[in-house]
Amino acid sequence: MSNVINLNQFRKQKARAQKRAKADENAVQHGRSKADKALDTARAEKSRQDHEAHKRDDE
């Protein structure tokens, strides 16, 4: 005798697997490491400081 398969469970498992695969793909595509984020923050702060340093006092 064959096993009985619940098609609702099978459908939901398949959908979960597809969502996980898509999430993993997006994480690789759009994810940034902590070091990359820190580097961007440091560059933005340096740029802000350089801009502030060139301001005139009478403004």
pLDDT digits (tens, 9 = 90+) for 8-59: 999 999 999 999 999 999 988 888 888 998 999 999 999 999 999 988 877 5
Tokens matching residue 12: 């939901």
Domain boundaries, the chain: 15-53
Decide: helix, strand or coil at residue 35: helix
pLDDT score recorded for residue 34 = 87
- At 59 the pLDDT is 58
Cα 5 to Cα 11, 12, 14, 27, distances in angstroms = 11, 13, 14, 33
SS3 29: helix
